[in-house]
Amino acid sequence: MLSQNPSDLNKVNIEDIDKEILRLAIIGELDAINLYEQLSAKANNPIIKKVLLDIAKEEKTHVGELQALLILQDKEQREELKNGEAEIKEKLSNN
């Protein structure tokens, strides 16, 4: 993503704007996590590696915060997350 908005927020219905903003913010945080982890893997300096991984970890916290907000805003998202978790538990129990 790298600072490009993949969605035109001007075309989003007003009742959906907060959910779309949260989803875009999550995309940005996930992109940042990937970037920092990739940069850390390439860095030679162990201090730089450590700091980049620490920043990536902070971004993961941000994802959790944004997801928690999204779950509060979107009942369908909340239900589908539960359904997804149940499916994974079922698949794991069959192994």
pTM above 0.75, yes or no: yes
What tokens appear for 22 in the block? 């949260």
Residue 91's Cα: distance from chain center in Å?
A: 24
Maximal CA-CA distance, the chain: 48
Residue (of 63, 73, 61) closest to 20 by Cα position: 73
Domain that holds residue 66: 10-93
> Is the residue at 62 inside a domain?
yes
Q: How many domains are contained in the chain?
A: 1
pLDDT tens digit sequence for 11-60: 878 888 999 999 999 999 999 999 999 999 999 999 999 999 999 999 99
Q: At what angle do helices 46-73 and 17-42 cross, to 10 degrees?
A: 160
| The residue count for the chain | 95
Between CA 35 and CA 74 the distance in angstroms is 28
> Is the residue at 1 inside a domain?
no
